[in-house]
């Protein structure tokens, strides 16, 4: 089957643009979990809660994360109680978590679309005479992701409070994400939690990017790609 040159050009661009979404959002499947929260709570210097016992804190956090990952209902979360029998979350906290879920659902949907489009684009390139474009597009996507993650990490290290504020201003309405230190969400997820999460997500993204770059290198060395690239030295890479 002959694949039109214009479709191959679009596929190359799609793959380059899909890679940052795939690389940046993939770690969230690991970090937006009760397991990561348990890891953070177990760290020696992680701040304890002033209101909740360790097991109580984990139980409430688990309910929130189960709601965010569609494993619990809104009623389950809003009706969660403390060990003393009080409702754990204020109505404003529940609403913020509803907003967070909308954002997270959008991120996971964007990730799924990026993975799907990226795979289709990669397959089209692989089964075409322009097979040598595949490793090139993968590397370009990694470099694009590298620039994005470098900006995020540098910005967050310079002034995490400003980074944290700007992030919330992008995704949430003013005033809906600000809480007191004694409120449940701050007791569960204090600022050090988010500082740790950002740099660990950044490092994980860089590791994934390195693996994709290695894959591109291995593809470059494969006979199939070398054979496709050979005629390209006599012709332009621009599809006709």
For the ranges 29-33, 47-51, 154-158, 211-215, the lowest mean pLDDT is seen at: 154-158
CA separation for the pair 225, 131 (Å, rounded): 6
Q: Over the chain, what is the mean pLDDT?
A: 92
pLDDT score of 216 more than 80: yes
Confirm if 65 and 49 have CB atoms less than 8 A apart. Answer: no
Instruction: For residue range 72-124, list pLDDT tens digits in order.
Output: 999 999 999 999 999 999 999 999 999 999 999 999 999 999 999 999 999 99
pLDDT at residue number 195: 94
Residue 135 banded pLDDT, cuts 50, 70, 90: very high
Q: Which of 58, 60, 78, 65 has its CA nearest to residue 29?
A: 65
pLDDT score of 230 more than 80: no
How would you class 221 by CB atoms within 10 Å of its CB: exposed for 0-12, middle for 13-18, buried for 19 or more? exposed
CA separation for the pair 166, 5 (Å, rounded): 42
- 181 three-class SS: coil
pLDDT at residue number 236: 44
Instruction: For residue range 152-209, list pLDDT tens digits in order.
Output: 989 999 999 999 999 999 999 998 999 999 999 999 999 999 999 999 999 999 999 9
Confirm if 133 and 125 have CB atoms less than 8 A apart. Answer: yes
CA separation for the pair 149, 41 (Å, rounded): 26
DSSP conformation class of 89 = S
């Amino acid at each position: 089957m002959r694949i039109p040159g214009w479709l191959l050009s679009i596929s190359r661009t799609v793959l380059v643009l899909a890679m940052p979404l795939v690389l940046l959002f993939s770690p969230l499947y690991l970090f937006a979990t009760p397991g990561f929260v348990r890891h953070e709570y177990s760290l020696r210097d992680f701040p304890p809660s002033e209101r909740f016992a360790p097991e109580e804190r984990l139980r409430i956090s688990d309910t929130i994360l189960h709601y965010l990952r569609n494993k619990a209902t809104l009623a389950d979360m809003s009706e969660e109680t403390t060990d003393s029998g009080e409702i754990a979350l204020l109505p404003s906290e529940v609403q913020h978590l509803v907003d967070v879920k909308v954002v997270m659902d959008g991120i996971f949907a964007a990730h799924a679309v990026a993975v799907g489009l990226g795979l289709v684009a990669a397959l089209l390139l692989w089964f075409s005479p322009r097979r040598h474009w595949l490793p090139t597009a993968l590397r370009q996507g990694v470099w694009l992701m590298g620039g994005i993650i470098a900006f995020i990490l540098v910005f967050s290290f310079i002034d995490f409070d400003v980074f944290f504020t700007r992030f919330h201003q992008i995704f949430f309405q003013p005033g809906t994400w600000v809480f007191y230190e004694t409120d449940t969400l701050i007791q569960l997820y204090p600022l050090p939690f988010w500082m740790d999460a950002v740099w660990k997500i950044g490092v994980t993204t860089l590791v994934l990017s390195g693996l994709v770059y290695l894959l591109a290198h291995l593809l470059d060395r494969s006979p199939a790609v070398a054979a496709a690239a050979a005629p390209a030295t006599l012709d332009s890479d621009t599809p006709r």
